[in-house]
Amino acid sequence: MVKTWQVANLYILTHIGVIFFLYPDNMIQAMEVSHWIGILTGFLLHIIVVWSYIKGLSLFDRRNVVDIFLDAGKWIAFLLLAPVFVYLLAVIVISIRSYGEMITIIFLSSTPLWATMLLTAILAAFLAMQGIEAILRTGLLLLVLCMPPTLFVLFSSFQHVDWHYLLPLFEGGAFQWSFVYNRSFLMGLLAVGGSFVFLGFVQPEVAFNQRYIRYASFLLLPLYGIAVYVPLLTFGHSTASRLMFPFIFVTDIVEVNWLMFERTSLFFTMSMIAFVLLFISLMLWNAAYLVQKVITVRTWSIVWAIAFVLFVICVSIDDWEQLEKLIWWNTFLRLYVMFVIPGVTLTLGLLYKRKGGAAYG
């Protein structure tokens, strides 16, 4: 069934979920001034990657990447997709662990971390086992429930902004693009290339019109901008770079007199966590889908099995430094997923098209 809107919605929501936590910190660490160049670079990378990916997909008639790769050969598909599988698992571990940490900091200072992570894992697995269509529909419900508070906070976060911090716009060093080798920048790619892979997995059960996904990707640019620039404009670079979750901190100090709650960050983080849960369950479903292509098992059993193993891994990560190490290792896998998978898809698509043309010509 054609569900373009649902797919576009899921694509946006999962990105929002990951943009506002680690990404601002990473970008602020990566560059001293002219962050917009970094943001724009990241965004352009995103556009290139996603557009070539969906272009490649659209050349085939409603098929998913796994089937496309399988056509090229069993072992080629295995070699191409095995890193994707590892990448998905790592992303899930990173998300569960880092958001668990964040929930502990913001809401539950006395609850043990494992309990929070257990909750996250259970929620994500519960949704993932119901399949992609349930995930898409949950996305719609969450859009209705969580988008109003999110937008409200996004607008109110400009309360303490000092536009002078925007300057200097052009600092010599930025245009040498030396920051792209910066570790923080590369880690920040989680928000750039985090969740788009799912677009290749949903077909043929769920079809979408690629044009609207392309439109939707433009909505991400202002979000990347707000995530990085609002903390910068509020605190200035030197203060903002000391904060662990700069954007959350900004929403913490926003003052709204008529609200019965002390901090607007409450609504914001809750909405973000909902989006992240969506993101995690999507990744979990992706991983389960890959496993199902190798061995035939029921979805629910494989989802719960993966969730359990990953939960154990999450618990065994001792502290934030280990997690950062994991994020860094995973960056290489992410670069692979961002460039090789869309590249191969597009190449295969073009080859397929040419062959098809020759056959009919």
Cα–Cα distances (Å) from 14 to 135, 140, 191, in that order, read 11, 12, 9
What does the DSSP 8-state code read for residue 177? T
Q: Closest separation between CB of residue 317 and other proteins, Å? A: 20
Tokens of 197: 């892979």
Which residues on adjacent β-strands are paired with residue 26? none
Between the CA atoms of 180, 184, 188 and 193, what dihedral angle is there, to the nearest 10 degrees? 50
For position 135 contacting other proteins by CB under 8 A, the verdict is yes
Closest CA to 38 of 240, 192, 204, 230: 192
Residue list 264-323, contact with other proteins (CB under 8 A):
266, 270, 273-274, 277, 281
* Phi-psi sector, 73: left (phi>0), alpha (psi -120 to 50), beta: left
Number of residues that bind other proteins (CB under 8 A): 35
Binding flags for other proteins, 233-272, as an x/- string (CB under 8 A): --------------------------xxxxx--x---x--
Contacting residue, 8, 103, 187, 192, with other proteins by CB under 8 A: 103
For position 111 contacting other proteins by CB under 8 A, the verdict is yes
109 phi/psi in degrees, rounded to 5: -70, -25
Question: Which residue matches tokens 């509020």?
Answer: 234
Q: Closest separation between CB of residue 117 and other proteins, Å? A: 12
Which CB, 3 or 334, lies closer to other proteins? 3
Instruction: Report the 10 Å Cβ neighbour count for 230.
Output: 23
| Cα 262–Cα 268–Cα 274 angle in degrees, nearest 5 | 130
Q: Which stretch, 102-110, 183-191, 240-248, 351-359, contacts other proteins (CB under 8 A)?
A: 102-110
279, 17 Cβ separation under 8 angstroms: yes
Binding flags for other proteins, 142-171, as an x/- string (CB under 8 A): x--x--------------------------
Which CB, 107 or 215, lies closer to other proteins? 107
Residues contributing to the site for other proteins (CB under 8 A) = 1, 5, 103, 107-108, 111, 115-116, 119, 123, 126-127, 130-131, 133-138, 140-142, 145, 259-263, 266, 270, 273-274, 277, 281
